[in-house]
Amino acid sequence: MIKHREDLEKSEYKMLSPLATKSADSKGRLNYEEKCLYRTDFQRDRDRIIHSKAFRRLVHKTQVFISPEGDHYRTRLTHTLEVAQISRTISRILGYNEDLTEAISLGHDLGHTPFGHNGEIFLNEIHPGGFHHNEQSLRVVDRLEKKKDNYGLNLTWEVRDGILNHRSRNMPSTLEGQIVRISDKIAYINHDIDDAIRSGVITEKDLPEEDLNILGYTHGDRINNLIEDLVNNSENKRQISLSENFNYALMHLRAFMFKNVYNSEKVKKEEELQRIKEQIEGLYDFFIKNPSELPDMYVSIIKEDGLNIAVKDYIAGMTDRYANKIFDSIIKNK
């Protein structure tokens, strides 16, 4: 039996929690468009993100380790997929909208710069008004990606809200967005531990014993235990949160990671940081002085939003290897 969109929308009211966000109740899109015959609006949003160029570029964007020697380190894409997997698991258990959760998860990091958070830090320092990847992720889906003859993917309000607020002072308006927000932390803290141990930056013995006693001693156990605690603590509530005990352990483990991994000299090698800083600043300065060298699509951005915005958009969208390539070509032609 073929299921049409209306059938799927009706089934959500029967199958999902009363607190779940229903596709038929969406606040809609920025611009009106006809509904799909078979897919709900959130399913369409998910598909649009997956088929976007920005999503494909995530495979060549750094998560933590820059140009690691090995095939098993996370990239921004694999991080995104792990967030989506954790988010969907939580949504399914609690009876919330998996399609909405997945769409937000897949789009939450589309605005990340090359070279991970280091690239974001340096771009934030030089771009007027600063730079935040969550705001850039929203800009990617609203303006920079192209759907047919129009710019922007024209996503629903709920997906856009979740992307913007996955990391900000504001909390996402939907429970599905809140799930993504905490799943992001669960994912990166645990998979970064895995990569840090693989790289030799830390060992399992270095991890805080008091946190492991609560969260678990293996990667799989920690993910499972965090999910179990989250769903048990959030059932039938209008806020998604861990228990006080688990939240403290996770945040304490996060602080350990910042001190011993993210800000470690073994990861943030001075020569690598200097190279990234030189590249981000060099690229920004070059295109500010030579706007004619920007790709054609940025001409309209210059007219609408100004040269600085266009240059920021271009650099933020680069992969690590593309940024290296363009910077090297600039240096050679000087």
Amino acid present at 214: I
Examine the pLDDT at 208 and tell me if it is beyond 80: yes
3-state secondary structure 223-239: HHHHHHHHHHHHCCCCC
Examine the pLDDT at 68 and tell me if it is beyond 70: no
**pLDDT band at 66; cut points 50, 70, 90:** low
Report the candidate in 80, 82, 86, 92 with the shortest Cα–Cα distance to residue 20.
92
Structure tokens at 57: 């570029």
Helix (H) or strand (E) holding 147: strand 146-147
- The pLDDT assigned to 311 comes to 98
- The pLDDT assigned to 272 comes to 83
Mean confidence (pLDDT) of the chain: 93
**pLDDT band at 94; cut points 50, 70, 90:** very high
Answer yes or no: are the C-beta atoms of 104 and 96 closer than 8 Å: no
**pLDDT band at 334; cut points 50, 70, 90:** low
Q: What is the pLDDT of residues 32-60, one digit of tens each?
A: 999 999 999 999 999 999 999 999 999 98
| 324 or 149, which is more confident | 324
Q: What is the pLDDT of residues 276-295, one digit of tens each?
A: 999 999 999 999 999 999 99
Answer yes or no: are the C-beta atoms of 103 and 46 closer than 8 Å: yes
Examine the pLDDT at 99 and tell me if it is beyond 60: yes
Helix axis angle, 175-199 to 98-107, nearest 10°: 50
Question: d(Cα 158, Cα 22) in Å, to the nearest integer?
Answer: 10
**pLDDT band at 145; cut points 50, 70, 90:** very high
DSSP letter (8 states) at residue 151: E
**pLDDT band at 224; cut points 50, 70, 90:** very high
- The pLDDT assigned to 98 comes to 98
H helical segments located in the chain: 5-15, 41-50, 53-57, 76-94, 98-107, 116-126, 133-139, 157-164, 175-199, 209-215, 219-234, 244-257, 270-289, 297-305, 307-316, 320-332
The structural domains of the chain, ordered by start, are 39-332 (1.10.3210.10)
| 73 or 320, which is more confident | 320
Examine the pLDDT at 268 and tell me if it is beyond 80: no
Give just the sign of the alpha carbon dihedral 266, 247, 249, 198: negative
Residue with tokens 């090359």: 114
> pTM of the predicted model, to two decimals?
0.95
